[in-house]
Amino acid sequence: MKTARLFLWLFALLGVTLPGNPAKADELVRFESAPVKLSAFRIRKAAEQGEFLSQPPGTPLLGYLSRPQGDGPFPAVVVMHGCDGMRPSVKDLWPKRLVSWGYVVLVVDSFTTRNIQDTCRSALPDPVFDAYGALNFLSKSSFVDTRRVALMGFAAGGSATLEATKIEGNEQLMDHKFRAAVAYYPICAASQGDATVPTLILSGDRDNWSPAERCRKRLAGVGDDAPPIALNLYKGVYHNFDAPEFAAGRRVLGHIEKYDPDAAAKSIRSVYAFLRKSLSK
């Protein structure tokens, strides 16, 4: 019996979905990004001038929803893609892995409804509001425990994850909050300061697209009483190291993207342990 439990634990760490607990097929869902809330100051000033300001609507978005079998409620993970969009590891591999660990997963498609192909040479408008729109959507689902939802992002999606969970950011305007954050090879900013939730950052030391040094500088300024931010740095590893579709490696805009199976496996184990601890009841 102990041996069987050990194998189940190892399968979970490696992200293997066992035949006895298949994930339901991905469901295409529609929701809106969280609307940009008007500040009390702006509303008051408009009223003084006899103006009426209507609340701007959110942006229509698409998402891919996956869930374990059963009624739940389950903890959940909102996933944000990078500047290259919905690549296979983000749209398929990570959701299957997370569902096998017992999480509902909503992968946010920030591009399709905006008619965007990629943002590797530009910036995506308001990805933070996309993340909270997904959280608002999940909050209406009876099978989701909205007290236990993490935000997870890759590259530009990882940067958005850090932005969405920084202290004194747009998070304070939102009705629903994330419980934890996971950012794969994000671009950090020292000015982000403390986080509002426990955070795990995973980067390669040869990644010159998202230099880990910026993350070190941010961590150096984190307050003693703030939620912990952990930085896992993998030696000899490049951008997109967790994505098997980059096994052959490639160079994009002067940056190397290359899968590293050893670093990927280590990072997966770290994410598993981090989510298990951060989203515990």
Residue 101 within any structural domain of the chain: yes
Sheet of 229-234: strands edge to edge? Answer: 27-32, 60-66, 104-109, 74-80, 144-154, 180-184, 199-204, 229-234
Look up tokens 């390669």; give the residue. 204
Per residue in 214-226, pLDDT tens?
999 998 888 888 9
Q: Identify whether 146 is part of a domain.
A: yes
Residue 196 pLDDT > 90, yes or no? yes
- The answer to whether position 7 is within a domain reads no
**Within-domain flag for 172:** yes
Q: What is the pLDDT of residue 55?
A: 64
Confidence of residue 3 (pLDDT cuts 50, 70, 90): very low
User: What integer pLDDT is reported at residue 111 of this predicted model?
Assistant: 93
8 within some domain: no
Find residue 251's DSSP bridge partners. 256
Q: Please tell me the distance from the alpha carbon of residue 234 to that of residue 242, in angstroms, as a whole number.
A: 11
Res 45: pLDDT: 58
Residue 62 inside a domain? The answer is yes
pLDDT at 18: 37
What pLDDT is attached to residue 190? Answer: 77
Report the C-alpha gap between 120 and 255 in whole angstroms: 11
Q: Give residue-wise pLDDT tens across range 94-112.
A: 999 999 999 999 999 999 9
Query: According to the model, what pLDDT value does residue 49 have?
Result: 67
pLDDT at 278 over 90: yes
In a domain, 113, yes or no: yes
Q: How does pLDDT run across 129-187, given as a tens digit for each residue?
A: 999 999 999 999 999 999 999 999 999 999 999 999 999 888 888 989 999 999 999 99
Most confident listed range (4-13, 27-36, 62-71): 62-71
Q: What is the pLDDT of residue 252?
A: 81
pTM of the model: 0.85
Alpha carbon separation from 232 to 3, 28, 77, 105, 196 (Å, rounded): 30, 33, 20, 23, 19
Spatial distance between the Cα atoms of 211 and 215, rounded to a whole number of angstroms: 8
Number of domains in the chain: 1
pLDDT at 43: 56
Q: Computed from CA positions of residues 160, 260, 107, 74, in that sequence, does the dihedral angle turn out positive or negative?
A: negative
**Residue 49: both structure tokens together:** 């001038």
- Identify which has the larger pLDDT, 110 or 5: 110
Closest CA to 83 of 61, 110, 101: 110
Print burial letters for 67-85: b (CB count within 10 Å at least 16), e (below 16). bbeeebebbbbbbbbbbbb
Q: Is residue 178 part of a domain?
A: yes
Range of the domain at 235: 24-278
Six token digits for residue 190: 């020292």
Residue-averaged pLDDT of the chain: 86
Identify the CATH number of the domain in which residue 88 sits: 3.40.50.1820
